[in-house]
Amino acid sequence: MTSTLRFVLTSNSITVMLGARSYSIASTDEVYPKVVELVKANASEDDILSVINAAQAALEKATQITPAIAIRGGVVTYNGEAVDNSLTTRMLAMLDEGFDLVPMARFLENLMANPSYRAVNELYSFLEKGEMPITPDGHFMAYKAVRADYKDIHSGTFDNSIGQVCSMPRNAVDDDKNRTCSSGLHFCSFAYLPHFAHANGHVMLLKINPADVVSIPADYNDTKGRCAKYEVVGEYEGYYKENGPYFTSSVFDPATGNQSGSAFGGDDDGNDDGSFDLYGDDDHIDTFDTLQEAIDCANDNLSDYREFEIRDEDGDVVETITGEKAGYTVYADGDEIDSFDSLDAARDKAIRLFSSGDYSDVRVENEDGDDVVNMTM
């Protein structure tokens, strides 16, 4: 029987006209075989549309994780707005792996209440790198080394006994990540403990709301942070004997001590072995044997680039790092002179250089590498 439906069938998809609208279904879509079967059988438009709509309804129902967090069409949304960062990328992967996404969705809800752009976009990468788990209610766990009397090491004024909640005004916490030792309530990953823990002290377990995180200082390889509030929920009494991480999985329940979710760690040596290419503003910088080496190089050169990408052997981007280079760069006779946050400031600098008569070619380049001011003799 010849189909009277209007459709285009390729090896990758089928596109069919139903009423005044076209519907495209990829060959990887679960509903693809059924739609192809119905088209070949010259089924009615209503029958085909009912199959497509039923599949879409099932997908939306399955991925409405919390009232505010959903996944639709491979995109994580918060109150209907798309969110794209390392956390949402991990959520999409975990959806495919069959993990419970509720703790991560609650974490995202709390994170979106944080007024810091940098914290919203970078905190989860910090947690993954430090192997610091999320709690069922969407907070996260961290470590803190304290004195023998449970007071903080720096000031000796905050009681870090189990059950205590320590807090300070958020605007009293330094939000500049480049000021590595500054005001704020400090927390850390397991890797930082050897720098601060002492055998006559204690290592405490903290529960922190991501909304209260202010900054992740750049020193010590991004292994410590500053926040405005935390709760002390436990003590790692075996730290000085066992000297291994307390947390071993991506979800930790401080009420029961249960650890669940995906296990931390990849390769046995934990080095993410392979080949990793570091790019700064799309320029290839170097190739590294481990992901961590590429990250370290990017962090050492933040002021020279606007954005870094680290790509694996397949060319896939596995890490993005925001640089600190300003958005407009002034060049004179091919040499980089200075960078500015505003076009007006960059243009003024270019005019002064060109007017001096010392240069024959002065231009201003935007963050995309396009010339926005060009003066030549």
The full DSSP string for 3-35 is --S-EEE-SSEEEEEETTEEEEEETTSTTHHHH
Residues 6 or more apart whose CB falls under 8 angstroms from that of 284 comprise: 277, 278
Given a contact cutoff of 8 angstroms between Cβ atoms, the answer to whether 332 and 359 are in contact is yes
Query: How many CB atoms sit inside 10 A of residue 327's CB?
Result: 15
Name which residue leads in pLDDT, 59 or 132: 132
CA–CA separation, 160 vs 253, rounded Å?
20
Global model pTM greater than 0.85 = no
Residue 122 has pLDDT above 80, yes or no: yes
Given a cut of 80, is residue 118 above it in pLDDT?
yes
Q: Helices 32-40 & 45-62, crossing angle to 10 degrees?
A: 170
Contact (Cβ atoms closer than 8 angstroms) between residue 119 and residue 210: yes
Question: 287 near 277, Cβ under 8 Å?
Answer: yes
Please tell me the predicted confidence (pLDDT) of residue 262: 73
What confidence tier does 90 reach under pLDDT thresholds 50, 70, 90?
A: confident
Q: Both ends of the chain: CA-CA distance in Å?
A: 74
Beta pairing class for 371-376 and 7-9: unpaired
Choose the weakest-confidence range: 33-37, 223-227, 296-300. 296-300
Q: Scan for tokens 């300070």, then name that residue.
A: 168
Q: What is the pLDDT of residue 157?
A: 93
Query: pLDDT band for position 270 (50/70/90)?
Result: very low
Both tokens assigned to 127: 């947690």
**SS3 assignment, position 272:** coil
pLDDT of residue 267: 41
Q: Measuring CA to CA, which residue among 95, 127, 96 is closest to residue 111?
A: 127
Q: Kindly state the average pLDDT of the residues 359-365.
A: 87
- Measured on CA atoms in the order 138, 85, 121, 222, is the torsion positive or negative? positive
Q: Give the burial class of 369: count Cβ atoms within 10 A of its Cβ; 0-12 exposed, 13-18 middle, 19 or more buried.
A: exposed
Cα-Cα-Cα-Cα dihedral sign, residues 222, 224, 227, 232: positive
Tens digit of each residue's pLDDT (9 = 90 or more) over 323-342: 766 678 888 988 888 877 77
pLDDT of residue 365: 84
Q: Give Cα 367 distance to the centre of its chain.
A: 22
pLDDT digits (tens, 9 = 90+) for 68-78: 999 877 789 99
Q: Which neighbouring-strand residues pair with 225?
A: 187
| Average pLDDT taken over every residue of the chain | 85
pLDDT band at 269, cuts 50/70/90?
very low
Q: Which residue has the higher pLDDT, 187 or 17?
A: 187
Strand 165-167 to 81-83 pairing: unpaired
